[in-house]
Amino acid sequence: MTKKFAVTVLGGGSFGTALASIAADNGFPVKQWMRDENLAQNINEQRRNTRYLPDYEINQNVQATTDVIDAVSGADVIFVAIPSKAFSAVVDKARAYLSKDQIMISTAKGIQEDGFLLMSEILKTHTPSEHVGVLSGPNLAKEIAQKQMTATVVASDDAFTRETIQQVLGCSYFRVYASNDLFGVELGGALKNIYAIASGMASALGVGENTKSMLITRSLAEMSRFAVAMGANPMTFLGLSGVGDLIVTCTSPLSRNYRVGHALGEGKTLAEAVESLGQVAEGVNTIRLVRNKSIEMGVYMPLACALYEVLFNDQSVKKVIHGLMTGEQSTDVEFVLPR
């Protein structure tokens, strides 16, 4: 018999809302915490997240709340769907009411600036949970809300965590595959945002299909090189959380980071591009953090460094592209032929 795990989602954004409704569709009781009282009321009364997914009807089993203590107390599974900048602050609010037996899953695709920490590291150090994992993959929230066929990866050192999340979220339109490479899966989700910005820029400039293909595959080489230096398994990047997430984020106008890049390619300033989005684009902060970390670690990352110059030093996009095309011609896949 399937246990009816009590599920909580911390976060009122589009992805958290989509996850809450999947779990509810699967018959699990769900609480969704958010700061905005009006949004919580809209979800409870109109069954709509009127800010992020206004066209999507939310399952009746989802109960929205602005009380974080109520949300986490008694939960068996907690998804933390909070942007990286606010992630630890929200977790710390709930910290005193969490237990070692609760499963804690990060869905954030970003990195905390202080200490260059991944979200799983925050969950391991800021909570008593013995069951920490991450969820990442090519998962555009709007398509999940429309019940388009989608797959994701749950990564954890703990088999119980992986199997529970597969049970809670797996359904006819949402497949959950397992991994034990937390760093690889998590870094795949964070790093691909950088290259989605580059891809959006390229699209706005009207580049050809050859160029787009080159950009995506060299992005994959660069992100896997960095992740392996951080302790990830390079094979992880052949899966959904690596090349899968990279493809969807670099080719879809539904991707927030792609839209920021497209606006930059059209000549908007970074401030204008971010303002026109109206939501958090994790890649903007990630570019700065990863560029600085790659220099510190001595990891060759020409794309990330070039994007940093465009976003933060007002370099022209065309000048940066020229620099990339006259850079080092080294190995294709350095895990096959070393650099």
Confidence of residue 288 (pLDDT cuts 50, 70, 90): very high
Q: Does the structure show a pLDDT above 50 at 34?
A: yes
Predicted local distance difference test score (pLDDT) of residue 1: 40
Q: Encode pLDDT of 37-82 as tens digits.
A: 999 999 999 999 999 999 999 999 999 999 999 999 999 999 999 9
Write out the two tokens for 284.
């903007």
Whether 330 shows a pLDDT value over 90: the answer reads no
Average pLDDT over residues 277-300: 89
Does this model's pTM top 0.85? yes
**pLDDT score of 332 more than 90:** no
- Listed in order, strand segments (DSSP E) in the chain are 7-10, 30-33, 62-65, 77-80, 103-106, 111-112, 117-118, 131-136, 150-155, 174-179
CA distance 229 to 301: 12
pLDDT value of position 171: 97
| Coil, strand or helix at 77 | strand
User: What is the per-residue pLDDT for 31?
Assistant: 98
Distance (Å, whole) CA 225 – CA 201: 23
- Reported as a single tens digit per residue, the pLDDT across 310-328 is 999 988 877 767 666 777 7
Residue 280 has pLDDT above 70, yes or no: no
Q: For the chain, what percent of residues have pLDDT higher than 70?
A: 98
Q: Of the ranges 99-108, 269-278, 297-306, which one carries the lowest mean pLDDT score?
A: 269-278
The answer to whether the beta carbons of residues 150 and 175 sit under 8 Å apart is yes
Compute φ and ψ for 49, nearest 5 degrees: -90, 90
Query: Mean per-residue pLDDT for 245-255?
Result: 94
Q: Is 142 a catalytic residue?
A: no
| Domains (range + CATH), the chain | 7-180 (3.40.50.720), 183-325 (1.10.1040.10)
Q: What is the pLDDT of residue 2?
A: 60
Residue 199: per-residue pLDDT: 93
Contact between residue 43 and residue 9 where contact means Cβ atoms under 8 Å apart = no
Identify the pLDDT of residue 275.
84
- Please determine, for residue 178, whether its predicted confidence score (pLDDT) is greater than 90: yes
pLDDT in tens, 146-168: 999 999 999 999 999 999 999 99
**Closest-CA residue to 112 (of 129, 91, 135):** 91
Residues 181, 206: contact at Cβ < 8 Å?
A: no
Between residues 330 and 134, the one the model is more confident about: 134
Going from the C-alpha of 87 to that of each of 15, 146, 221, the distances in angstroms are 15, 27, 28
Residues 6+ apart with CB under 8 A from 244: 137, 138, 151
CA-to-CA distance for 189 and 110, rounded, in angstroms? 7
Max CA separation in the chain (angstroms): 61
Q: How confident is the model at residue 277 (pLDDT cuts 50, 70, 90)?
A: confident
Q: Taking Cα atoms as reference points, which of 49, 50, 46, 51 lies closest to residue 21?
A: 49
Which one of 192, 212, 293, 318 is the catalytic residue? 192
d(CA 309, CA 68): 40
Which is nearest to 11 in space by CA: 46, 47, 40, 38?
40
Report the helix count and the strand count for the chain, using DSSP H and E: 15, 10
Q: What is the mean pLDDT of residues 117-132?
A: 97
176 to each of 164, 243, 247, 304, how far by Cα in Å? 10, 16, 18, 30
Answer yes or no: is pLDDT of 128 > 70: yes
Q: What is the pLDDT of residue 326?
A: 72
Q: What is the dihedral of CA 232, 238, 239, 243, to 10 degrees?
A: 100
